[in-house]
Amino acid sequence: MNILFFITPKCDVAYLTDQDTLRNVLEKMEYHHYSAIPILSKEGKYIGTITEGDLLWEIKNHFGLNLREAEKVKLSELKMNKHYNPVDISSSMEDLLKKALSRSFVPVVDDYGYFIGIIRRHELVNYLYQYVNLAEKETKVPKETGGYRNILIRRKHRKDYKNSDSTHALKATHYLRIP
C-alpha cells in the first residue's frame, strides 16, 4: 500500500519556517491546539519538528518567561530535543507504522527533502481498525492473539488512548496482510 493514501497535504498543515520567531510559534501552536509543529526552510525543505517541551525549556532557561524577548528569537536559533525523522514518499507501510507509534504525526518529504505533508497516527489506526474488522469477516484471527478485535473495541471505550490503540493495531498486522 502506498503511504500517500494517508497524507494530509502541505496546504492543509500548519507549519513554520526557520525564520519565524519564538512568539510566532507560540501563537500558531495555541491557535491550532498543536503540541508539535513542522519547521521548514524558506525553500520548503523539512528541517525538523518543534514541540511544546522544546519551547518551554528555551523560554525558561533563556528568557525567564519574558514574551517580549521571545519576539527577537528566530526558530533557527532554538534547539529541538526530539527530532521527528520524516518518511520518504516511497517508504514502506512498515517504516511508517514504526515511526507513527511514537508520535502523533509523521512528516513526509519528497525525493529532494521538500516537505509535502504529514500522516497522522489516528488515520493509520482507523485504517488498521477497519482492515482488521474486514479481515475478520473473511478469515479467522488465530486464537493465540487473544482476539485483537476485542482489545481494539475495549480500548476504543477507554478514556486513556495513550499509544495503546496503535500498539495493538500494529500487533494485529502481524496476523493480517495489509494490501
User: Average pLDDT for residues 34-58, to the nearest whole number?
Assistant: 89
Same structural domain for residues 99 and 30?
no
pLDDT at 67: 67
Residues 139-153 pLDDT 10s: 555 555 555 444 444
In terms of domains, do 57 and 97 share one? no
Among 42-56, 108-122, 146-160, the minimum mean pLDDT is found in 146-160
Higher pLDDT, 165 or 80: 80
54 with 99, same domain: the answer is: no
Tell me if 155 is assigned to some domain: yes
Alpha helices in 13-120 (DSSP H): 22-32, 52-63, 67-70, 93-100
What's the domain count of the chain? Answer: 2
* 112 falls within a domain: no
Is 3 a domain residue?
no
Longest dimension (CA), the chain: 61
User: 1 in a domain, yes or no?
Assistant: no
> Is the four-CA dihedral 98, 103, 105, 110 of positive or negative sign?
negative
Q: Does residue 114 lie in a domain region?
A: no
- Pair (56, 12) in one structural domain: yes
Residue 107's pLDDT is: 93
Q: Is residue 146 part of a domain?
A: yes
Global pTM reads 0.64
Specify the pLDDT at position 142.
56
Cα-based distances in Å from 10 to 13, 40, 143? 5, 11, 42
Render pLDDT for 49-100 as a digit per residue (tens, 0 to 9): 998 888 887 777 776 656 677 777 787 777 776 678 899 999 998 889 888 8
